[in-house]
Amino acid sequence: MKMIRTRLSSEGRTDVLERVMAYRGGYSPQDRRKIEREAFSGNLLGIVATTALELGIDIGVLDAVLMLGFPKGDLASFRQQAGRAGRRSRDSLVVLVADNSPVDRYYIKSPESLFENPTADLLIDLDSKVVLEAHLHCAAHEMPLSSDDEKYFGPLFKEVCHAGLVKDAEGWWHPHPRYLPYPAKHVAIRGIEEDRYAVVDVTKIGQAGGEPRVLEEVEDSRAIFETYEGAVFLHQGQTFLASVVKEVRHDVRMAKVVRTDVSWVTRPRDFTDIDAKRTYRIREIKDSSQRAFYGRVDVKTTVFGYFKVRGSVILDAVDLDTPPFERETTGAWVDIPKGIVQLMRTKGLNPAEGNAKFRRRNT
């Protein structure tokens, strides 16, 4: 959005600056509905959107869709996004600008696959504690649970109940108060619901009539990369500087930012460490003596600094001391043969860094 606004201003098209807007799930419901109404009425010329605009929202007729990289999901996501244009039997244009990822390169070499390949099956990780906990809160709301219900919910039942539900004096499990009065309303149907930080503009605090303003909400997994102290945060093409990294007060999680005009952006310097904890499946690799593993992994991401960047030029490198973001998930990995590790070292490469990058892409 910032690049679009800068380009329009430099070409003297300030008359259309407000007719191009950004859209993402972290915006308040009021802001999202406003953008949807503007798009449906035809007042907007363009929308810069995340996958939040992918499904279930009617924004009228679009003439074109420009995708920056193949969607991280699968063909279903690609077709949902492409289908935003050309509704009601109108002609339309869909452009996929590929990046350098293996998936993008595959579709560039085999474009017919975009139209001919079937969409992938939807798989649910029944061993996920996150999925099970949400289900147990809903089930306990309909009827309190007992230890006998383990036969229905599997071996993780007791562990998840002890960690997240409330047990009464008679031994029955009930939903945690934060899920009440209707636990189902707290369960995300589009994906795993993460804790969020409210990004709060505190620029006008201390001024006459100045009040803090919530710009949007960002997920934990995104906040670590976008709201560290000193980060330039972009909202609707405007730049804000993260002044206080994060605060948690009475369960209110916030990241404070101050409006500023700068000619550079920030890029986080981060490292992700992935440790395999439990193996669920093992498969032989064709034409190889190696095997592929699938199972439970722990992921720890740390932002240890950031670059100040203008275009492709790094202006400065800043160090940070921030707590890591940790999560438990599933992933696939291979054990690299010792001979390959030794070869990497003789070539001056760090085997641990390369292995982490490989596993991160495949998690």
| Residue pLDDT, tens place only, 86-139 | 877 788 899 999 998 899 999 999 999 999 999 887 777 777 787 899 899 999
* Residue carrying the six token digits 């070292």: 345
Strands (E), 169-290: 173-174, 196-201, 213-219, 232-235, 238-249, 252-259, 265-284
Single out the residue of 324, 301, 234, 260 nearest to residue 26, CA to CA. Answer: 234
Q: pLDDT digit of tens for each residue in the chain (363 aa)?
A: 888 888 888 999 989 888 999 988 788 888 888 888 888 888 888 889 887 776 666 666 688 999 999 987 688 889 888 888 887 778 889 999 999 889 999 999 999 999 999 988 777 777 778 789 989 999 999 999 999 999 999 999 999 999 999 999 999 999 999 889 999 888 876 655 567 888 999 988 878 777 888 899 888 888 889 989 899 999 988 899 987 555 544 456 788 899 999 989 999 999 999 999 989 889 998 888 889 999 889 999 999 999 999 988 999 999 999 889 888 888 899 988 888 888 888 888 876 655 544 444 433
- The values of phi and psi at residue 29, to 5°, are -55, -35
Which residues have CB under 8 Å from 280's CB, separation 6+? Answer: 127, 294, 295, 296, 330
At residue 56, the pLDDT reads: 61
Is 2-116 CATH 3.40.50.300? Answer: yes
User: Could you give the 3-state DSSP secondary structure of residue 73?
Assistant: coil
Give me the pLDDT at residue 201, please: 92
Residue 356's pLDDT is what?
46
In this prediction, residue 266 carries a pLDDT of 95
pTM above the 0.85 mark? no
pLDDT at 150: 94
User: What letter would DSSP give residue 203?
Assistant: T
Q: What is the chain's Cα-based Rg?
A: 24
Domain ranges of the chain: 2-116, 129-186, 196-262, 267-361
